[in-house]
Structure 1
Amino acid sequence: MTNLVHVGRALISVSDKTGLIDLARALAGRGIELISTGGTAAALRMAGLAVRDVAEVTGFPEMMDGRVKTLHPNVHGGLLALRDDDEHLVAMAAHGIEPIDLLVVNLYPFEATVARGADYETCIENIDIGGPAMIRAAAKNHRFVNVVTDPADYAGLLAELARNDGATGMAFRQKLALTAYARTATYDAAVSNWMAGALKESAPRRRAFGGELAQTLRYGENPHQAAAFYTDGSGRTGVATAKQWQGKELSYNNINDTDAAFELVAEFAGKAPACAIIKHANPCGVATGESLLEAYSRAHDCDRTSAFGGIVALNQELDAETAEKICEIFTEVVIAPGASDAARAVFAAKKNLRLLTTGGLPDAAARGLAFRQVAGGFLVQDRDAANVKRADLKLVTKRAPTDAEMADLLFAWTVAKHVKSNAIIYVKDGATVGIGAGQMSRIDSTRIAARKSQDMAEVLGLSAPLTQGSVVASDAFFPFADGLIAAAEAGATAIIQPGGSMRDDEVIAAADAAGLAMVFTNQRHFRH
């Protein structure tokens, strides 16, 4: 099998012109002939480089607004010809096809076009055709051809050429081919998923997902599991777009938990200062306040034990006073839209604490897809972007919630959306005071949340459980009255739940007997 292959001719056609001129100069300096198209050729000429137009190679001008320029045997033959096959060499000579040893192509910015909200026709015009065709051809023929699809690989290409006096090795070309096929695969996945959305096709016959490596991780959920972090190209604000100011490299679990925390606190965009503290993808405290300091302190007081070693997410710029408070206990990650210089100075003394800023909050109402692997396949669904307003609620009890209770009910329902099922959330005055998550029965979640509230009351030196005078949210209906009765016994005064149980009448009767107010959402928030 061929190992070293000398590079004598390169075809360059790029949308992203980052590093283009330096690359082309280095190639030309090695005597490599440059062939190019349209805007790329113009940029190279402006830099004083000799360039041969692809139209000269094909014998046809670029036409149809650039849709047709490289789809020609003189291009694809030059990429696909086997240099050690006599029949291929005879065909090349007979038809005037010259070999192309290096292809440098990056594609029309389709993902970026979609991300900025462009209309249908604009998105269509940003679907690259010739680029993927050339990339796939060059990658298939990697025994003889180098294919580079990312400016990040320019330095590696030049280093390889320098090591081998203008040639490249087989292992290097294989790696380039792998990257190339992954690029066309992710590109086509982006196009097909966008089109499925544009056509409102929720279950297309075939579904593909792709991503770009953002970070190799030390390991996955456990040390024996290999892992990596990929971005999906959507540009949605969050962990994937965050700047890390300090601290150790993020782990698999850090990224998962930080995402859960930031998605929750994003529900409070444009509202009062809010804080969510997450442990193992579940909130152990969520609160609003007059300031971030108050919001953090109230969230921390929901479950101080679980907050140790947790993830803190804030909906506003982190200030120094809040940073000082956070530093009183061990915290893995803090994520916020921003952080003041003074806050960063406070954290600088905590070398292992990771501080991330994003410049904004995720759009909690944004549509998108969520997927999960199962044996032999994967499940795909819309992300849970739903929520309810006061006008959506149905009063089912004799007593209506007070205004204060209603505000807490809506707060509790928002938090319930981000708690693993079965989820029970007690809230009082805009702060969680008990959270029960991930239990096999709803009554267990109800009791665990109440018990945690009792434990924290003792820590805080209070005579009554935090749940006294609280409201309760349940992510799904109460199948029996026992869970509701347990909540009432813990001191809850109002309930929000989806309704829809065969025993709704029994549950409503129990609420009336306990003097509770209860509203139905007609919407559930299972989170498994």
Structure 2
Amino acid sequence: MRYGINPQQAAARAVPVDPERVPLRVLRGRPSSINLLDALNSWQLVREAARTLGRPAAASFKHVSPAGAALAGPVDEATARPYGVDAASVGELTSAYLRARDADPKSSYGDFVAVSHQVDVELAQLLTRVVSDGIVAPGYAPGVLEILAGKKNGAFLVMEADPAFEPPEEESRDVFGLRLVQERDRVELSEALLADVRVGSLSEQNRSDLLLGLAVVRHTQSNSVCYVRDGQTLGIGAGQQSRVDCTRLAGAKVDTWWLRRHPLARALEFRPGVRRQDRVNWQVRFVEGDLTDDERARFREAVEGDPGTLDAAERDAWLAGLTGVSFVSDGSLPFRDNVDHARRHGVTCIAEPGGSIRSGDVEDACRESGIALARTGVRLFHH
């Protein structure tokens, strides 16, 4: 490999457990350890999501967790405009990636891309216009590798996954002189996990979104939670020691996603020469509403005319219009505060393992808020 986790760890290599069965191969570029971890985790996510839900899936990974993930589906103007695509005519695979990247476009800067199906020319051309480090997919259509060859001056990583590969029954890792060995998690994600509905009822769309959320948290650094709506993540909380902190952080991302659809945010016009990612970042900072004095001056230099202001009352009124959001937790909700925070972000159904000593309080909170609750009975921690 190019290096390990950090550049100073120059002596780094990846060794197949079974030389006869390799999960992926490098077609272009030279990966680091993080690149490979992103590729392996993201490929598992999109493969599982596509298998479970029968639609093309995509993920945008950063530091071994998804910034966003989505199934193929409709692309709205707020998603399409930053990337110069026609929302009405975009293909399925490209729509999946656009929807995945749109969950947290600021974090997706320099992402690792994963898609469940063969990369076509349309997606390859889109990738030439965004900042990303590499892609993993089960194949590439004719001409695609040539399109990607010039990205990052030829350093863009292109990896091909074997869709038929199944890992060994045991997995291991070495940590500070100890080798940890465990049985591979073989729980299948299916609607059977959503059979135990304790509060309310689940629609077909709820079940689909909850299953996508389960696939996402399964491949996200724990503690993790995920907000999903109409086949795309709106906010993912990863790696926090407190679950409610994950819920709040991911909820803030949901609010940002929804506020980017406010008329004032959609009406922002930028001066010529402002780069694509800078436009995305400025839109995010505009709707977040806490620009520093320095940022405010630079923002006014970047936009045309008077952008207006999203005051607190207008923000609250717009956020109140978001509904139909599903919420998934990789572990049991230990307190009702997770439900109380989640309902602020349009959540109408929750899936979590249950089994906490305060699961009754969680159930009561869902009942009080009119939120459907499914108990999966399965913990999906990932470290």
TM range (shorter): 0.7 to 0.9
Contact 2:23/2:162 (<8 A) preserved: no
- Superposed CA deviations along residues 368-418 of structure 1, whole A, max 9, x for unmatched, are 222222344221111222134223434343411112111111111121111
Aligned amino acid, residue 30 of structure 2: E
What is the DSSP-based 3-state SS (H/G/I as helix, E as strand, rest coil) of the residue aligned with 1:523? Answer: coil
| Equivalent residue runs for 1:15-94 within 5 Å | none
User: 1:515 is matched with which residue?
Assistant: 370
User: 1:358 is matched with which residue?
Assistant: 161
Do residues 442 (structure 1) and 243 (structure 2) align? Answer: yes
Aligned amino acid, residue 182 of structure 2: Q
What is the DSSP-based 3-state SS (H/G/I as helix, E as strand, rest coil) of the residue aligned with 1:526? Answer: coil
CA distance in 2, matches of 1:303, 1:258: 19
User: Using a 3 Å threshold, how does the CA distance of structure 1 residues 457 and 235 change in structure 2: closer, same or farther?
Assistant: farther
User: 1:374 is matched with which residue?
Assistant: 175
User: 1:267 is matched with which residue?
Assistant: 48
What is the DSSP-based 3-state SS (H/G/I as helix, E as strand, rest coil) of the residue aligned with 1:306? Answer: coil
CA distance in 1, matches of 2:22, 2:260: 37
Match of 1:313 among 114, 119, 130: 114
CA distance in 1, matches of 2:165, 2:93: 19
Tell me how far 1:352 sits from its aligned partner.
2.2
Q: What TM-score, normalized by structure 2, do the two folds share?
A: 0.75
Identity of counterpart residues, as a percentage? 33
Contact 1:237/1:362 (<8 A) preserved: yes
User: Using a 3 Å threshold, how does the CA distance of structure 1 residues 450 and 233 change in structure 2: closer, same or farther?
Assistant: same
CA distance in 2, matches of 1:334, 1:374: 28
In terms of mean alpha carbon deviation, does 439-448 or 300-309 score higher? 300-309
Contact 1:481/1:506 (<8 A) preserved: yes
Moved over 6 A (4+): none
| Equivalent residue runs for 1:71-470 within 5 Å | 217-225=1-9, 226-233=11-18, 235-239=20-24, 242-244=25-27, 246=28, 248-270=29-51, 271-290=54-73, 291-350=92-151, 351-360=154-163, 362-363=165-166, 367-461=168-262, 463-464=318-319, 468-470=323-325
Whose relative contact order is higher, 1 or 2, with alpha carbons under 8 Å and at least 6 apart?
2
Look at both structures and tell me which one has the larger radius of gyration over its CA atoms.
1
User: 1:36 is matched with which residue?
Assistant: none
User: Using a 3 Å threshold, how does the CA distance of structure 1 residues 381 and 234 change in structure 2: closer, same or farther?
Assistant: farther
Contact 1:397/1:511 (<8 A) preserved: no
User: 1:495 is matched with which residue?
Assistant: 350
CA distance in 2, matches of 1:235, 1:269: 26
- Superposed CA deviations along residues 480-526 of structure 1, whole A, max 9, x for unmatched, are 00011111111100000000011111110000000000101111001
User: Using a 3 Å threshold, how does the CA distance of structure 1 residues 477 and 420 change in structure 2: closer, same or farther?
Assistant: same
Do residues 478 (structure 1) and 340 (structure 2) align? Answer: no
- Superposed CA deviations along residues 46-103 of structure 1, whole A, max 9, x for unmatched, are xxxxxxxxxxxxxxxxxxxxxxxxxxxxxxxxxxxxxxxxxxxxxxxxxxxxxxxxxx
Contact 1:446/1:486 (<8 A) preserved: yes
What is the DSSP-based 3-state SS (H/G/I as helix, E as strand, rest coil) of the residue aligned with 1:412? Answer: helix
Structure 1 residue runs without a partner (length 5+) = 1-216
- Superposed CA deviations along residues 97-138 of structure 1, whole A, max 9, x for unmatched, are xxxxxxxxxxxxxxxxxxxxxxxxxxxxxxxxxxxxxxxxxx
Contact 1:266/1:362 (<8 A) preserved: no
What is the DSSP-based 3-state SS (H/G/I as helix, E as strand, rest coil) of the residue aligned with 1:370? Answer: strand
Structure 2 residue runs without a partner (length 5+) = 74-91, 264-317
How big is the alpha-carbon RMSD for the aligned residues of Structure 1 and Structure 2? 2.0
Task: Give the length in aligned residue pairs.
Answer: 306
User: Using a 3 Å threshold, how does the CA distance of structure 1 residues 465 and 448 change in structure 2: closer, same or farther?
Assistant: farther
CA distance in 2, matches of 1:383, 1:447: 31
Aligned amino acid, residue 345 of structure 1: E
Q: What TM-score, normalized by structure 1, do the two folds share?
A: 0.55
- Superposed CA deviations along residues 163-204 of structure 1, whole A, max 9, x for unmatched, are xxxxxxxxxxxxxxxxxxxxxxxxxxxxxxxxxxxxxxxxxx
Aligned amino acid, residue 356 of structure 1: M
User: 1:31 is matched with which residue?
Assistant: none
- Superposed CA deviations along residues 278-335 of structure 1, whole A, max 9, x for unmatched, are 1100011111115101101110111111111111111110001111122221111111
Contact 1:428/1:467 (<8 A) preserved: no
Contact 1:238/1:262 (<8 A) preserved: no
User: Using a 3 Å threshold, how does the CA distance of structure 1 residues 369 and 251 change in structure 2: closer, same or farther?
Assistant: same
CA distance in 1, matches of 2:360, 2:119: 47
Aligned amino acid, residue 227 of structure 1: A
- Superposed CA deviations along residues 236-255 of structure 1, whole A, max 9, x for unmatched, are 4523xx141x3x31112211
CA distance in 2, matches of 1:236, 1:306: 34
CA distance in 1, matches of 2:322, 2:250: 9
